[in-house]
C-alpha cells in the first residue's frame, strides 16, 4: 500500500535568471500513518519550503516548482485541481506554524477561529460549532476550555496559543499533520509539554506527523525516523536510534557535536560547524557541504554524492559514509549521556 | 516594517492557568463584539450625539430656524450678532445662523458621499491589488497614478466644466452629485494605496497562510482574514478626509464650478466670507466652527470604531 505521504525528487526554485536560488534540489521522503518523521536542518535548508509545497501554500511567484512529485495516499498533488487540493487541506492534511501568535487572527476569538472549520466544512450552526471548539480546546488540555474559547489570541500565553493552533488544525481530524518548528518560539519547559501533546495526539489518532525542527533535542524523544536536510537536499535519513548511534554524514556529526552538553567543562568553547551554509543561488560543485567539511578530499569537490543505502534503511549522501558509520559519533550526545 | 502584534504579552512563564479575564461576554463574531465594545465608550456616544444633531439639521432645517437663508436685506448688512440674529448678518444682509443651518445638508451630503465613494472604490481596488499582487496590482496601481497625478483644482475644473456649459442652470442635487463624483475620481487612489499597503502586509501574515493551510478559499481569506485587519488605517483616513472633502467642495465653489447660489453650503459661506474677515468675522467664524465640530465628530467616531474593532485594545 502506498505510504500516507510520499515526496519524490521535489525541486523548487525562487527568482529568475542569474538570481535564481535553487531552494529544493531533489527532496524525497515519505511518512506512514501513525509515524513521526523529523526533518532536521538549519535555517534556509528548505525544510519549510518542502512543507509548504506539500500543503500547496507555497507562494508562486516568487517560488516555482520545477520538478518532482508529491503523492498523498498515492494521489498526485502537484498539478492537481486547486479546488481538490483546497478540500484536502484541513480535512486530510493540516499544518501548524512556528509562531502561534501570528498564526492566529488577532481580531477573532480563539474559539471562533476553531469553530470556523466546523461551520464551513461541516455545515454546523454557530452554536454547535462553538461547543465543538471548546471540546477541541479541552482535547489539547487547555484548562477551563469553556471560558477560554471566548478569549482572543493575545489573552493566551505562548504555550496555550500553540495548543490552540494545534486544536484548530486537528479540528477536521486530518491524517497528516505538518508541524513547522512548533516549539521554537517557546521556552524549554513548555516545549516539552507541546511535544508530549503532539506525540500523544499522533498516537491516539494514528496520524502521520512531520516534525520540522532544527533542534536535535526536540527530535530525539519523539521521532521514528529523521531526515537531515542541507542546502535543499536530504543528506542523511534513518531511524532515530541509528542516527544518534552511527551518524553517517559529517554535517549530522557536526550538528550533534555543536550541541553543548551537561558534562562539558564550564567555559569550554562551543564547537560550531565552521563556515556558513552556501548561498542557494551559488551552491558549490560536488558535495554542497565540502567547503565546511573537515574530511573533504578531491572527490568531494568533483562529485555530488548520491543519497545511498548503507544497509538496514540507513541512507546518507557522503562518499565516505561507511567509514563514519563504523566510527560512531565523535562523542556521545547529551541525550545519551542523560539517558545512561 | 511595522510589526502589528506589538502588544503581545511576554511568553507565558508557565503553560498553566492564566487568571480568568473576568466574565467574558459571549463571543458572537467580530462585528457583534465590536458593537458591545463601542457601547461602553463615552467618546462614541459624544460623537454619535453630535452626528445625530448634524443629521437632524441637514434633514429638517426648519426645526432650527424659521428664517429664509436666501433673503438678504442690504440695510442689515454686516450687522453683528444680536438678539435678532444670534450669528449676525453677512455682507448681503442674510441671517448667518439660518444659512449655517441650511448649509449643513449640502456640506454633509458632499462630505459623506465623497468619503463613502472614495473609501469604497479605493478599498476594493486596494484589496484586489494588494491580495493578487500580480498583473491586477500593476494595472490598478498605474491607473491610480494617472488620477493621483492630476492636480485637484485642474482636474476639478476639467471634470465640472465638461459636465456643465458656462451659465447653465443646474439643480442642487445634480450639483452635489457632480461635486462628489469629481472628488471621488480625483482622490480614490489615495485610499487604494493605503488599503493596498495594508493588504500586502496582512496577506503575508502567518494567519493568512494558516487559514489557507486549513483549506480556506480566496474569498474567505480576503473577507474574513484580510479585510478586518486592514480596516483601521482606511477608517482613520476616511474620518480625516470627511472634513477635507467639505473643504474641497468650498474650493470648487470659490472657483465658481462647485455648489453656488441659491444652494447654501458651509464651503460656499466660507469662501464668500474669507475676503471680509476683518470686517465681518462672524460670517466666517460660524460656518467654519460648524465645519470643525463636524470633522471632530467624525474623527472621534472613526477612532472609536477603529479601537472597537481591535480586540487587543479591549
* B125-149 pLDDT, tens digit each: 999 998 888 888 999 999 999 998 8
Return mean pLDDT, chain A: 84
- Output the pLDDT for position B279: 84
List phi, psi (to 5°) of A178: -105, 120
B27, A150: Cβ pair inside 8 Å? yes
Residue A334 has pLDDT above 60, yes or no: no
Pick the closest to residue A70 from A43, A38, A98, A31 (CA basis).
Answer: A31
What is the pLDDT averaged over residues B14-35?
54
A157, B4: Cβ pair inside 8 Å? no
Asked whether A34 and A28 are in contact (CB, 8 A), the reply is no
Centre a 10 Å sphere on the Cβ of residue A18 and count the other Cβ atoms it contains: 7
B214, A89: Cβ pair inside 8 Å? yes
A95, B25: Cβ pair inside 8 Å? no
Asked whether B121 and B188 are in contact (CB, 8 A), the reply is yes
- Interface check B200 vs A, CB under 8 A: no
| Chain A residues with beta carbon closer than 8 angstroms to that of B212 | 57, 89
Q: Place B116 in a pLDDT band, splitting at 50, 70 and 90.
A: very high
Provide the shortest C-alpha distance from residue A113 to chain B (in Å).
9
Which of the pair, A62 or A334, is modelled with greater confidence? A62
Span A68-96, pLDDT tens digits: 889 988 888 888 888 888 888 888 899 98
Write out residues 11-50 of B within 8 Å (CB-CB) of A.
11-18, 20-21, 24-30, 33
CA distance B159 to B279: 35
What is the pLDDT averaged over residues B274-296?
87
Pick the closest to residue A158 from A118, A128, A135, A189 (CA basis).
Answer: A189
- Output the pLDDT for position A331: 63
Pick the closest to residue B212 from B202, B201, B200, B225 (CA basis).
Answer: B225
Asked whether A14 and A202 are in contact (CB, 8 A), the reply is no
| Chain B residues with beta carbon closer than 8 angstroms to that of A144 | 17, 20
Span A306-320, pLDDT tens digits: 888 887 788 888 888
What is the pLDDT averaged over residues A173-198?
86
CA distance B115 to B41: 24
Q: Place A333 in a pLDDT band, splitting at 50, 70 and 90.
A: low
CA distance A34 to A47: 21
Write out residues 259-318 of A within 8 Å (CB-CB) of B.
none
**Pairing assessment for the beta strands A308-309 and A93-96 based on DSSP bridges:** unpaired
CA distance A339 to A336: 5
- B213 vs A94, A126, A159: nearest CB: A94
**Pairing assessment for the beta strands A36-40 and A225-230 based on DSSP bridges:** parallel
Centre a 10 Å sphere on the Cβ of residue A113 and count the other Cβ atoms it contains: 27
List phi, psi (to 5°) of A228: -100, 130
B289: cell is: 466652527
- Interface check B309 vs A, CB under 8 A: yes
Q: Closest residue of B to A117, CA-based? A: B214
Return mean pLDDT, chain B: 82
Provide the shortest C-alpha distance from residue A150 to chain B (in Å).
5
Classify the phi-psi angles of A141: left when phi > 0, otherwise alpha if psi is within -120 to 50, otherwise beta.
left
Q: Place B7 in a pLDDT band, splitting at 50, 70 and 90.
A: very low
DSSP string, B44-107: HHHHHHHHHHHHHHHH-GGGT--S-TT---GGGTTPPS-SS-TT-B-TT--BHHHHHHHHHHHH
- ipTM score for this prediction: 0.79
Write out residues 59-98 of A within 8 Å (CB-CB) of B.
86-91, 94-97
CA distance B60 to B82: 24
A157, B207: Cβ pair inside 8 Å? no
Provide the shortest C-alpha distance from residue A140 to chain B (in Å).
12
Q: How many CA atoms lie within 13 A of B232 on its CB side?
A: 16
| Chain A residues with beta carbon closer than 8 angstroms to that of B312 | 106, 152, 154
Residue A340 has pLDDT above 80, yes or no: no
Q: Place B194 in a pLDDT band, splitting at 50, 70 and 90.
A: very high
- Output the pLDDT for position B25: 44
Domain ranges of chain A: 5-221, 231-339
Residue A60 has pLDDT above 80, yes or no: no
What is the pLDDT averaged over residues A228-250?
86
- Interface check A146 vs B, CB under 8 A: no
Asked whether B106 and B172 are in contact (CB, 8 A), the reply is yes
Provide the CATH topology of domain B31-313.
Answer: MetI-like fold (1.10.3720)
| Chain A residues with beta carbon closer than 8 angstroms to that of B7 | 154
Span B223-279, pLDDT tens digits: 888 988 888 888 888 887 887 888 788 778 778 788 877 788 888 888 888 788 888
A157, B18: Cβ pair inside 8 Å? yes
Which of the pair, B40 or B168, is modelled with greater confidence? B40
Q: Which CATH class is domain A5-221?
A: alpha beta
Instruction: Label residue A215 exposed, middle or buried (CB < 10 Å: 0-12, 13-18, 19+).
Output: middle
CA distance B172 to B178: 10
- A154 vs B8, B20, B212: nearest CB: B8
- Interface check B83 vs A, CB under 8 A: no
- Tell me the C-alpha to C-alpha distance, in Å, between residue A106 and each of A120, A247, A311, B12: 20, 43, 50, 17
Q: Closest residue of A to B26, CA-based? A: A150
* B11-20, B151-160, B227-236: range with lowest mean pLDDT: B11-20
3-state helix, strand, coil in chain B (%, to 5): 70, 0, 30
- Interface check B153 vs A, CB under 8 A: no
Percent share of chain B, pLDDT over 90: 23
Residue B18 has pLDDT above 50, yes or no: no
B206, A97: Cβ pair inside 8 Å? yes
| Chain A residues with beta carbon closer than 8 angstroms to that of B213 | 55, 57, 89-90, 94-95, 169
- Output the pLDDT for position B266: 87
Q: Closest residue of B to A55, CA-based? A: B213
Residue B117 has pLDDT above 70, yes or no: yes
Amino acid at each position: 500500500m502506498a505510504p500516507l505521504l510520499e515526496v519524490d525528487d521535489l525541486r523548487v526554485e525562487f527568482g529568475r535568471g542569474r538570481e535564481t536560488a535553487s531552494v529544493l534540489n531533489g527532496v524525497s521522503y515519505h511518512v506512514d500513518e501513525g509515524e513521526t518523521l523529523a526533518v532536521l536542518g538549519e535555517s534556509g535548508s528548505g525544510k519549510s519550503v518542502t512543507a509548504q509545497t506539500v500543503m500547496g501554500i507555497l507562494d508562486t511567484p516568487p517560488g516555482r516548482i520545477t520538478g518532482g512529485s508529491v503523492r498523498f495516499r498515492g494521489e498526485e498533488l502537484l498539478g492537481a485541481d486547486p479546488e481538490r487540493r483546497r478540500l484536502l487541506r484541513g480535512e486530510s492534511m493540516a499544518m501548524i506554524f512556528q509562531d502561534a501568535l501570528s498564526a492566529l487572527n488577532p481580531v477573532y476569538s480563539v474559539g471562533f477561529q476553531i469553530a470556523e472549520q466546523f461551520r464551513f466544512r461541516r455545515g454546523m450552526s454557530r452554536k454547535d460549532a462553538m461547543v465543538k471548539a471548546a471540546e477541541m480546546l479541552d482535547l489539547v488540555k487547555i484548562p477551563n476550555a469553556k471560558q477560554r474559547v471566548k478569549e482572543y489570541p493575545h489573552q493566551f500565553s505562548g504555550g496555550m496559543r500553540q495548543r490552540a493552533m494545534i486544536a484548530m488544525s486537528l479540528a477536521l481530524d486530518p491524517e497528516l499533520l505538518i508541524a513547522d518548528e512548533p516549539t521554537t518560539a517557546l521556552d524549554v519547559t513548555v516545549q516539552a509539554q507541546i511535544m508530549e501533546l503532539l506525540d500523544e495526539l499522533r498516537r491516539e489518532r494514528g496520524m502521520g506527523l512531520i516534525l520540522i525542527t532544527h533542534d536535535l533535542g526536540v527530535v530525539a524523544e519523539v521521532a521514528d525516523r529523521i531526515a537531515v536536510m542541507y542546502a535543499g537536499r536530504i543528506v542523511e535519513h534513518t531511524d532515530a536510534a541509528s542516527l544518534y548511534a552511527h551518524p553517517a554524514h559529517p554535517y549530522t556529526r557536526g550538528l550533534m557535536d555543536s550541541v553543548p552538553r551537561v558534562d562539558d567543562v564550564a567555559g569550554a568553547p562551543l564547537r560550531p560547524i565552521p563556515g556558513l551554509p552556501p548561498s542557494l543561488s551559488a551552491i558549490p560543485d560536488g558535495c554542497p557541504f565540502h567547503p565546511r567539511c573537515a574530511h573533504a578530499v578531491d572527490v568531494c569537490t568533483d562529485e555530488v554524492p548520491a543519497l545511498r543505502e548503507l544497509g538496514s534503511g540507513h541512507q546518507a549522501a557522503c562518499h565516505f559514509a561507511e567509514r563514519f558509520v563504523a566510527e560512531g559519533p565523535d562523542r556521545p550526545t547529551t541525550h545519551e549521556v542523560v539517558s545512561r | 516594517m511595522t510589526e502589528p502584534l506589538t502588544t503581545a504579552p511576554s511568553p507565558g512563564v508557565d503553560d498553566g492557568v492564566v487568571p480568568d479575564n473576568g466574565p467574558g461576554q459571549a463571543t458572537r463574531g467580530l462585528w457583534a463584539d465590536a458593537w458591545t465594545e463601542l457601547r461602553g465608550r463615552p467618546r462614541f456616544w459624544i460623537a454619535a450625539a453630535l452626528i445625530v444633531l448634524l443629521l437632524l439639521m441637514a434633514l429638517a432645517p426648519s426645526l432650527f430656524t424659521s428664517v429664509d437663508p436666501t433673503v438678504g436685506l442690504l440695510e442689515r448688512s454686516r450687522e453683528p450678532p444680536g438678539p435678532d440674529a444670534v450669528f449676525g448678518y453677512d455682507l448681503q444682509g442674510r441671517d448667518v445662523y439660518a444659512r449655517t443651518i441650511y448649509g449643513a445638508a449640502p456640506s454633509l451630503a458632499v462630505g459623506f458621499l465623497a468619503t463613502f465613494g472614495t473609501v469604497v472604490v479605493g478599498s476594493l481596488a486596494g484589496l484586489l491589488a494588494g491580495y493578487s499582487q500580480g498583473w491586477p496590482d500593476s494595472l490598478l496601481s498605474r491607473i491610480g497614478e494617472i488620477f493621483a497625478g492630476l492636480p485637484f483644482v485642474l482636474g476639478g475644473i476639467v471634470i465640472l466644466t465638461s459636465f456643465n456649459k458656462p451659465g447653465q442652470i443646474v439643480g442642487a442635487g445634480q450639483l452635489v452629485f457632480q461635486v462628489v463624483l469629481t472628488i471621488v475620481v480625483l482622490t480614490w487612489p489615495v485610499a487604494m494605496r493605503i488599503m493596498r499597503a495594508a493588504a500586502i502586509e496582512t496577506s503575508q501574515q502567518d494567519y493568512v497562510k494558516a487559514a489557507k493551510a486549513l483549506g480556506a478559499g480566496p474569498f474567505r481569506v480576503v473577507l474574513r482574514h484580510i479585510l478586518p485587519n486592514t480596516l483601521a488605517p482606511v477608517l482613520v483616513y476616511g474620518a480625516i478626509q470627511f472634513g477635507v472633502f467639505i473643504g474641497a467642495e468650498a474650493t470648487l465653489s470659490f472657483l465658481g464650478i462647485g455648489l453656488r447660489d441659491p444652494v447654501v453650503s458651509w464651503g460656499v459661506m466660507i469662501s464668500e466670507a474669507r475676503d471680509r474677515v476683518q470686517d465681518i468675522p462672524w460670517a466666517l467664524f460660524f460656518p467654519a466652527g460648524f465645519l470643525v465640530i463636524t470633522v471632530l465628530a467624525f474623527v472621534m467616531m472613526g477612532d472609536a470604531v477603529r479601537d472597537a474593532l481591535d480586540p487587543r485594545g479591549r
